[in-house]
Amino acid sequence: MKYLNVLIGSTVCLSLLTYCAVTKPAGILDPASPVPPTLAPAPVTALLQAHCAGCHHGTSPGGGLDLTRIVETPGGRLGFAHSLRGRQLSTYTTFATLYDRLTSTDPRRRMPPDSHLKGADLELLFLWVESALAALSPE
């Protein structure tokens, strides 16, 4: 029975991997493209693009976090390219970091650094991060 579960489990994982490989969001390697929509609804994507992507994309994005590129993360999920000392972090860690940086009371940690994000925009980003965190479990 255990083997059967493992077999079913691996088949599901393999199909998911194949699915993701085939349906890779367009423009993954194109830094000029908008944030791939698979991780965020369109209004959030637009906010990330307008207020964050300027510093969070390219060869050395702020804090190692590229908010325009989606990769497969160690937990087997898709997540933003986010690395620490060359190692890709889990999707949960990325969202926990986002939560911290959006809610921190320390102005040196708050993102975006110039604090232009206010009111409804900030609330939308916050709700997105909060619901993603609630749906994920630490890996």
User: Could you list the residues that contact ligand HEC (CB under 6 A)?
Assistant: 51-52, 54-56, 62-65, 97-98, 101, 111-113, 117
Distances (CA, A) of 11 to 22, 23, 36, 89: 16, 18, 27, 25
If the CB atoms of residues 20 and 55 are measured against ligand HEC, the closer one turns out to be 55
Tell the smallest beta-carbon distance from residue 136 to ligand HEC (Å).
15
Tell the smallest beta-carbon distance from residue 55 to ligand HEC (Å).
3
If the CB atoms of residues 77 and 111 are measured against ligand HEC, the closer one turns out to be 111
CA 64/CA 87 separation, integer angstroms: 10
If the CB atoms of residues 7 and 123 are measured against ligand HEC, the closer one turns out to be 123
- What is the DSSP secondary structure assignment for residue 33, as one 8-state letter? S
Tell the smallest beta-carbon distance from residue 102 to ligand HEC (Å).
6
Counting other chains too, the contacts that 87-96 makes at CB distance below 8 Å and 24 or more residues apart are: 90/138, 90/139, 91/136, 91/139, 92/133, 92/136, 92/137, 92/138, 92/139, 93/139, 94/65, 95/129, 95/132, 95/133, 95/136, 96/133
If the CB atoms of residues 77 and 93 are measured against ligand HEC, the closer one turns out to be 93
Tell the smallest beta-carbon distance from residue 115 to ligand HEC (Å).
10
